Structure 1
Amino acid sequence: MSTTHSSLQGHNDNKVHAARSHLKKRQTFERSLGSNDLTGVVNDSTHQDQEAEELLSRVRAQEGEIQLLRQQIAVACLKELQLLNEKCALERKFSDIRMAVDEKQTEALTSAYNELGYRKGDLEVNLKLTNELKAVDDERYHYMSSLLGLLAKYGIWPRVINASVLSNSVKLLHDQLQQKIRTSHEKIGERTSLVKNRFESGFQYKERENADFKLFESGYQYQKRENTDMGTSKYQLPPQAEHLRATEDVFISSRVQTNIPKSADFSQRPEVHQPVNDISPDPLFYTGREVPGDFTPPVDDEAVELQRYTPDERYNHPVTIEGPSIENFQIIGEATPGSTLLACGYPTRGTSLCIFQWVWHLEDGTRQYIEGATNPEYVVAADDVDKLIAVECIPMDDKGHQGELVKLFANDQKKIKCDPDMQLEIDTYLSKGQATFSVLLLVLSENWEPASISLRRSGYQIKMGNTDAVVIAEKYSRELSLKIPPGMSTQFVLTCSYGSSLPFNAYDVRMRDTLVLTLRMFQSKQAMDDRRKVKS
Structure 2
Amino acid sequence: MELSSRVRAQEGEIQLLRQQISVACLKELRLLNEKYALERKFSDIRMAVDEKQTEAINSAFNELGYRKGDLEVNLKLTNELKALDDERYHYTSSLLGLLEEYGIWPHVMNASVITNSVKLLHDQLQWKIRTSYEKIGEQSSLADNHLKRGFNPYQKRESTDFKFVESGYQYQKREITDMGTSKYQLHPKAEHLRTTEDVFTSRIQNNIPGSADFSLRPNMYQPVSNDNSPDPFFNNGREMPGAFTPPVDDDAVDLQFYTTDERYNHPVMVEGPSIENFQIVGEATPGSKLLACGYPTRGTSLCIFQWIWHLEDGTRQYVEGATNPEYVVGADDVDKLLAVECIPMDENGHQGELVKLFANDQHKIKCDPDMQLEIDTYLSKGQATFTVLLLIDLSENWEPASISLRRSGYQIKMGNTEVVVIAEKYSRELSLKIPPGISTQFVLTCSDGSSLPFNAYDVRMRDTLVLTMRMFQSKQAMDDRRKGKA
Q: TM-score, normalised by structure 2?
A: 0.48
Higher radius of gyration, 1 or 2: 1
Structure richer in strand, relative to its length: 2
Higher helix share: 1
Q: If the length of structure 1 is used for normalisation, what is the TM-score? A: 0.44
